[in-house]
Amino acid sequence: MELSDLRIFQAVARSQSFSKAAENLGYVQPNVTLRIKKLENELKIPLFRRTNRGVETLPSALTLLTYADRILSLMDEAEEKLTSQALLSIGATPILSAQLFPKFTQGVHLHFPLVKIELKTDKKSQLYLDLKQNLLDGIFVNERTIPDGCISIFSYTEKLFLVSARSVPDSGDEGIAVVNKNPQCPYRNTLLRYLDNKMNTVDIIEYDTLEPIIRSVESTNAVTVLPQSLVTSKMSKVSLPKEMNSIIIHFVVKQGSAKNKTVRKIIETLSE
DNA sequence: CTATTGCCCTCTTATAGCCA
DNA sequence: TGGCTATAAGAGGGCAATAG
C-alpha cells in the first residue's frame, strides 16, 4: 500500500464515486477504478460496493478511512514542517548580491519565516556551473537569453543611471570612471559602452567589490553606472541613453530539478 | 562505467455494459 | 439517454539486469 493509493482511496470514500474522485485528483476514471481494485486485492477485502450511480463504502472502507486520514494528515504536517526549515542556496554576482539579496530575503521570509538563506557571490560562469551541479538552488543573473537546461522563474527590469558625487563639481570630460573588475558585470559594460559612445577620455579604475566603487563616487569626481536602488543621497544621477538605460535581471533555476520538494515549493511561491 | 534491454507500474484513450 | 463502473490496449517512465 502506498501513499498515492491512500490518497485515491480517501477521495473515493469522500465522494462516493470513482468518477468524482478521478476528477478531484486530476486522473481519469479507469485509473481510479484500477487502483482501488488493486488495493482491494492487496488487502484481500472489498472496500466499496459498486452501483451504477456510484459506489457505497463498506465497513472495511470506513475502518481504513480513519487510518488514511491520520496518515495523510501526518504526511502533510511533516511536509509543512520541513518546508518551513529549508535551506535555500542562492548565487549572484557581487554587485547584484548587494542590490538584490536584502529584497529577496525579505520576500522569502514573508512566506517562509524559518527558511535559512545562504548567498554565494561569484562570476556568472561559476554560478551556472554550481547551478548545474545542484550546489545552488537559483541564481540572479543579467541575461538576454537563458541557456539550455535552465529556466527563468521571474525577472524584472532595473533602471540604470550615470552617477557622480553631489558635492564635487563636474570637471568636464576629464575624469575617473570606477567599475567592477569582472568583465561580465552589466554596470561595468554599460558604463564602458556609454564612455565609448561619448568618446570621452577617462581613467578607469577597477575594483573587486561594490563598496569602494560607491565610496569613490560619493567622495571624488569619479563616475560610474548604478541601478536606481544603489544610488545614495550623496550622489547625483543622470539618465542614460534609451538603449542602455536598463537591464533585465532573471532569477534562474535548473530545469526540472530543485534540490528537494521543499525548495521547489519555495521557488513555486516566489514565481507566483 | 555506460548503454541497452526487458519488465513492471501507472497512466491514458476508447469502448462496453448496466440501470434509473 | 445520461451517468456511472469495468475492461482492453497501448504509451511512457523507472528500475534492475546484462553486455560491452
**Which chain B positions come under 7 Å from a protein C-beta?**
10-15, 17-20
Residues of chain A with pLDDT under 70: 83-85, 166-174, 199-200, 255-272
**Which chain C positions come under 7 Å from a protein C-beta?**
2-9
Can you tell me which residue has its alpha carbon closest to the C1' of nucleotide B18?
A52
Q: What does the pLDDT look like over A245-254, one tens digit per residue?
A: 888 888 888 7
pLDDT of residue A84: 67
List, as one string, the DSSP characters of chain A: --HHHHHHHHHHHHHT-HHHHHHHHT--HHHHHHHHHHHHHHHTS--EEEETTEEEE-HHHHHHHHHHHHHHHHHHHHHHHHHHT-EEEEEE-HHHHHHHHHHHHHHHHHH-TT-EEEEEE--HHHHHHHHHTTS-SEEEEE-SSPPTTEEEEEEEEEEEEEEEESSSPP-TT-EEEEEES-TT-HHHHHHHHHHHHHT--EEEEEESSHHHHHHHHHHSSEEEEEEGGG--TTEEEEEPPGGGSEEEEEEEEETT--SSHHHHHHHHHHH-
Mean pLDDT, chain A, whole residue set: 81
What is the spatial distance, in angstroms and rounded to an integer, between the CA atom of A23 and the C1' atom of B13? 16
pLDDT of residue A72: 86
A74 in contact with nucleic chain B (CB within 7 A): no
pLDDT of residue A155: 80
Which protein residues, judged by their CB atom, are less than 7 Å from any atom of strand C? A 17-20, 29-30, 33-34, 36-37, 50-55
Structural domains of chain A ordered from first start: 3-82 (1.10.10.10), 87-154+249-271 (3.40.190.10), 158-248 (3.40.190.10)
What is the spatial distance, in angstroms and rounded to an integer, between the CA atom of A223 and the C1' atom of C15? 61
pLDDT of residue A171: 46
pLDDT of residue A184: 76
